[in-house]
Amino acid sequence: MGTQHNDPLHILLFPFLAHGHMIPVVDMAKLFASKGVRATIITTPINAPFISKSIENSKSHSNMINIQTIKFPCAEVGLPEGCENANLIPSPDYVPVFLKATELLQKPFEQHLNQHKPNCVVADMFFPWATDSCSKFRVPRIVFHGISFFSLCANECVFRYRPYENVSSDSESFVIPNLPGEIKMTRLQVSEYFRNDDFKEAFRKIHECNEKSYGVVVNSFYELEQNYADYYREVIGRRAWHIGPLSLCNNDKEEKIYRGKEASIDEHEWQKFLGSKKACSIVYVSFGSMIKFSDYQLREIAMGLEASGQHFIWVVRRSKEDGAAEWLPEGFEKRMEGKGLIIRGWAPQVLILEHEAIGAFVTHCGWNSTLEAITAGVPMVTWPVSAEQFYNEKFVIEVLKIGVPVGVKKWAPFDAIDYIIKYDAIKKVVNNLMTKEEALMKMRSRAKVFSRLAKRAVEEGGSSSSDLNALIDELVLLR
């Protein structure tokens, strides 16, 4: 492995410029560093401090990780100044512009390849041009999608066979062709990116780069989705290594608290709230770093949580400066004192999910959040919105059987969500999950099994640890 050579293996990592992509890649850098591999992370100036602080908190291996920055061309493409992160894009109209801007990073990226001469590059799926750049410098390029094997397989089958074209209406269901498990979806749940001419070309390039690259690293573990890992490698024919759950590389509290951003709440406040509750009695509600619900939807969530009678922690992408009058029912926070805690902004999610008081997680089904819930052994209420989240919902409910759906029927861009879930549906699903003891116990029992398997996978000799070792050994031989 990398630790057996005087000259350490050197890997260049280039995450997409969004918190949901950068966080697992920083964890990946820590993981490689723990194996004696030198890691360089490429990012932009605005994103560098988040990455830097996360690495500083990794006391054991921070000396093996380096950060290099490249200028993001906001002005050149007409983006507002400072939009170097997809989380900061002011409206959906800027998404194609942002993706176009990332193409202008190719030249400075190649300068880094020439300067650092890495033995391997792990670059995000949204940088398809990185494959040609790496080929030019004779460096193997590995793709990181940030999603599961299940979603990789489902995406591939939908891309190849376009089953949504063979139904007579948006709401008519179809079976995803050739995908194990007889997974059904509707045209409304299929990503708009497959159906929108503006995005088809971008995803064709991503598909091509998958085929031409050296392989794929996946934030997952074999025991979780064995059928789909085998299908991806043996039927679809892609080289892939499962090296997750990546969040488990963070061993101490400081590492878990700071993953991407500073928490928006004092540590003692949320710890005191959790510590005052019974085991499995709290519903944790969070929709990731990209979802922007309307004030109307936020009010429905508030009313649903209150009507459910359950204790909760709710993470909301609203600051105190935004005020509460528009999106909270009058007197809500006063009535919920001691029963509900609202965190405005960023929460230490891994630590919260690990706490014994958490009984369920209402989630948008982003893969980072989904895998963190699985790792913590927490059942889910699924509320997919965008990206590959409807695939993740199917995986959680139909394959793993550790979740229940809130009832979303339509895929939507992150910033233009027009499908509303009413408060009574929220109340019903939360209550059903938290009060139907026999069904909940079965789900919780299954979730705990996956949690134990996740932790075993990253231990020495575990499936993910062994796959990582195999990848490193292969890269050592290649150089």
Active site residues: 21, 124
What element of type H or E holds 31?
A: helix 19-34
What element of type H or E holds 43?
A: strand 38-43
Burial class (CB in 10 A: 0-12, 13-18, 19+), 201: exposed
473 dihedral zone (left: phi>0; alpha: psi -120 to 50; beta)? alpha
Give the C-alpha separation, 87 to 253, whole Å: 26
Q: In terms of Cα–Cα distance, which of 346, 416, 418 is closest to 95?
A: 416
- Residues comprising the chain, all counted: 479
Give the C-alpha separation, 300 to 122, whole Å: 41
Give the C-alpha separation, 362 to 380, whole Å: 6
Q: In terms of Cα–Cα distance, which of 150, 119, 144, 148 is closest to 134?
A: 119
Q: In terms of Cα–Cα distance, which of 56, 60, 69 is closest to 32?
A: 60
Burial class (CB in 10 A: 0-12, 13-18, 19+), 428: middle
Q: Is the peptide bond before 73 cis (omega within 30 degrees of 0)?
A: no
DSSP per residue, 166-216: GSSSTT-EEEPTT-TT--EEEGGGS-HHHH-HHHHHHHHHHHHHHHHSSEE
